Amino acid sequence: MRVYLVGYMGCGKSTMGRKLASILGSTLIDLDHYLEQKYFKTIPQIFAEEGEDGFRRKEQAVLHEVSTFDDVIVATGGGAPCFFDNMDVMNRTGFCIFLDVDTEELVNRLTNAKTERPIIKGKSREELAGFIDEMMEKRRPFYEKAKYILRGKNITPAQVIKIIREH
């Protein structure tokens, strides 16, 4: 079994992934961390050396790799679904679930996050909301290609498990 969690940063992919892996006895793979470990470089280093195109090609390669692993929960990077054949691979090889959280909740989560995210550093709440809306306008068509969509600010592991058990 493979479960892929997709959605915008702050939607809960990593948190949900940890909970699901614990409940199901699966292995959590955070795709960004996996990529960094495989290439012995941080994502900012890869961007600096190879640009976004180089990063996205590496991201696609590791996605294809983990799509052959058994019994994994994959928390993807927010942009991963938007490039190449990534959504097709995820839909074809596992349960691809879009965690759809509204802008207001994303702003709350990202504003209160303990982990600093360089892409949003220094933005006011209003600027952050505008930035999220702009990014979601571009990314939503890709995210919505997921076979399964869960909406709301309190998505639970039980909802994901129900999808897995019923399909």
Q: What is the pLDDT of residues 131-158, one digit of tens each?
A: 999 999 999 999 999 999 999 999 999 9
Band (121; pLDDT cuts 50, 70, 90): confident
* C-beta atoms surrounding 68 within 10 Å: 9
Q: What is the DSSP string of 4-52?
A: EEE-STTSSHHHHHHHHHHHHTPEEEEHHHHHHHHHTS-HHHHHHHHHH
Strands 148-151 and 95-100: parallel
Q: If we measure between CA atoms, which residue out of 75, 62, 64 comes closest to residue 30? A: 75
Provide the pLDDT confidence category of residue 116 given band limits of 50, 70 and 90. confident
Q: Which amino acid is at 121?
A: K
What 3-state DSSP class applies to 99? strand
In the 8-state DSSP scheme, what is residue 79? Answer: T
**Domain 2-161, second-level architecture:** 3-Layer(aba) Sandwich (3.40)
Q: The whole model's pTM is what? A: 0.95
Q: What is the pLDDT of residue 55?
A: 95
CB 31 within 8 A of CB 80: yes
